[in-house]
Structure formats: structure tokens, C-alpha cells
Amino acid sequence: MTKAKPLFTDSSSFQRTDLFSIPGVMRASDLKSGPSAGQSPEQWKEFILSAVYSRISVEEIEEKPFSTEYTAKELYQSLLKKAPADREWKVLFRLFAAFYSFSALAERLDETNLAPETAERAAYDVLFYLADEAYDAAKISGGAPPFAFEPYIDLLKTDTGRLLAFPFERFPAARLDLYRLLWDSLFTKTEWRKAEQTRLAPTSASSPVQHAAYMHQLYLIGSMERFVEQAATAPADLFPYFLHWLQDAKRSERFVHVLRAAALVAHDGLLSIENEYSRRLFVRQIIRLMDEDDVAERTPSLVKELYTALLPFSYVSLSYFLIGRGDYADWVDLQLLVGAELADLDKAGLKTVIKEAPELALPLLHQGISALIAERNRNSYRRAVRFMKRLRTIYKKLARTEEFERWLDWALSENKRLRAFQEECKKGGLLDD
């Protein structure tokens, strides 16, 4: 892959060759003094980037990728010791240290020739650690920061936008996570968010994380109808990023809008999650976040739409939801779709359907009985006969006994070579009537 040029540095200042000849560049262990309150934000940024680039090289990462996490955390803690003494400036420096350590480390990793899975294992935890550190500091720095902080926040805002920019492709989830956390907690002015939304307006060249960042600005300014509209045309691999919005909106009016948007991309979006276990876990997290009764009361069709889009991982939730709402026709269709076994369905709604809407249960019983006979063993034949007797009872209640008799004759004829099945039918009393 082509090595990326730095976005967070002056490319003429931080080349790996002859790095230590650059004034101010030193290893963290050699740092004699740190930035002071009142120094320019650019000086703070250069101090932190210089420390990271001098301590963590591409060659070292490639040679010992799994030591990267420990080196980066140790360096970050060393940087914090160089913070200004004043409490407010100290918190702001912590934010700078976490943000630019994240930026520089991600950039370094982008420059390596590591296999994607190796780079992911080497840096995943430390990048999210630094993102959380930046968020914690931003929460303290936010609110009404001193006037002197404005140029520092402006610089962070500009460089936060660059987190998602070309040519960096690795760690999109971590980059977006930090982006959203800072826009949630630090860059809170409405005019900033609207300007950022305009800047990020999606094009055909926009990446999934850039789409997500654009939608995040819509979310923050409360433009939820446009949020839903954007989801309808967004790439499917945007879906994993919905968890952040669902968690954040759980107790607000925006939750239903986010859920509706998620339902639009869920079916194809699930395929963008790497394996079945991760898909199942993700669906479980979404379902746990939802107050099913509340959502169903406010938007009756939405729960069913979402559960349907999340199949097969939402099967149990959808099955219980449909039976609980008395939607028996759709419940039967669902069981036919997934090929559910009759024995399992007895406890999951079959008895209710037979009682409340017996005619709807007929296709399900027919399919289930055929599946049991096809198993070709005596135990399955016994179970098939038990359900055949229940089928006979339903046909009697519906005054369609002759139809059942014709079907029974066909089933016996179709399986006439299955002596054990014929014997079980006789033992069950099906041949005496």
C-alpha cells in the first residue's frame, strides 16, 4: 500500500530520516520541560507530535507490533507529567496529549506494512483508550471554557475533521469514535455543527465514516427527519456505527428516529459485520437498548420492521413480539420461513395460534409433520403422529374432515414403504377412523 503523508504535521518537519536533528524533537524520556500555560496551541501540538514521532517509529511497530500499545501508553503518561501546573490548563493539555497521541499513532500505523488484522490487534485497545482519555478531558474542558482556550479549541476542531480524511483508511471505528466524542462534548456551538455538516455533505467519493460523521452532525442539531432520509441512501457498512446513536438517544425523543434509520440499513448492514458471532452480539445489543412496548405504542410497525431486518438473529424476539400482538398470520409465516420445528413451537405460541386462529396453523403443521417423517426414525414418526392427531382435531373443528382424510390417504400412500411409520399411525389410532 502507498504510504500516507502526515495530516497532522508539516510534512517537511517530521520525516523519519534524521528526525533527531529537528529542534525540539526528543524521546519522551529525554523531555526536560513541557509546554506552559499561554504557549500557542501550535507549540503544544508540535511538542506532543515530536515526542510521539521520535519515540514510535514505523520500523519499531513493524518489528514488534504488539509492544506498540505499551509504548504508546507509557509515552502518553510521560507527556501528562509535562502538563502546566494550573488545573484548567492541565486538563486542556491532557486533552491535547490524548488527541495528538491518538492522531500520531494512527498515522504511524497507517504508514506500516502490517497486515490489517495485525495492525488491528496491535493498536485497537490503545486507540480507544486514548479516545476515552480525550473525551474525559473534553467533558471537563467543555461548558464555558475560558476565553484564552478558544484558539486551542479551534485547532482541535480543525484537526478533528482531519481524522476522517483521505488517505487514512485503517481504524475507521476508532477515528469516528473520537470524532463523535469530541463533537458531543467539546464543539457544542450550533453554528460550528451546522458548518461542519455543510463541510461533510456526502458525495459519491465519501467513505462510510464520512457519511457517519455527516449524519452525526444532523443528529446533534436535531435534524432527525433528514437523519432518517440520509440513512436510506447511506452505504450498508454504516450500520455498525448506529450503536453510538442508539445508546445516546435511549431516553430521548430521537430514539425512534434513530431506530427507524437503523431499520433501513440493517438487512444489508449486518453483512458488513465480520462474522456471525459479532452479528449476533450486535443485534443483541440493539434489542437490549429498545423498550419494545414503548416503541410499539409510539410507532406500531417499527418494531416488526426492525426485527424483520435483523433476521435471523432477531428470530426469537420477533416470534414473541408477533404472538404477543396477536399477529398470528405473520407469526406462522415466520416459522415457515425459518423452518422451525413443531416441538419447539409448542412452547413458543403454537398452542395459542391453534386456539385463536386454527386455520392459520394448518400450513405450519403440514410442513412440520412432513419434516418429522423425513427424519426416518421411529421416534420422529411417533412425534409426527401426535401432531397428525392434532391436525385431525383442527380439521374437525373447521368442518373439513374430508379434506383431512384425503391428505391422510395421500401421506400414507406417499410413505407406504416406511413400515415403522405405518405402524405408528396404526398405534396412534389414525387408521381406525
Torsion of CA 124, 128, 130, 134, to 10 degrees: 160
pTM here? 0.83
For the chain, residues with pLDDT lower than 70 are: 1-34, 37-38, 142-143, 166-168, 432-433
- 98/39 Cα distance (integer angstroms): 18
> What stretch of H or E contains 64?
none
Distances (CA, A) of 117 to 83, 113, 170, 274, 392: 35, 11, 10, 12, 58
- pLDDT for position 147: 85
Residue 200 DSSP symbol: T
CB atoms within 10 A of CB 359: 14
| Residue 300: cis peptide before it, omega within 30 degrees of 0 | no
- 382/426 Cα distance (integer angstroms): 11
Q: Which three cell numbers stand for residue 379?
A: 421416534
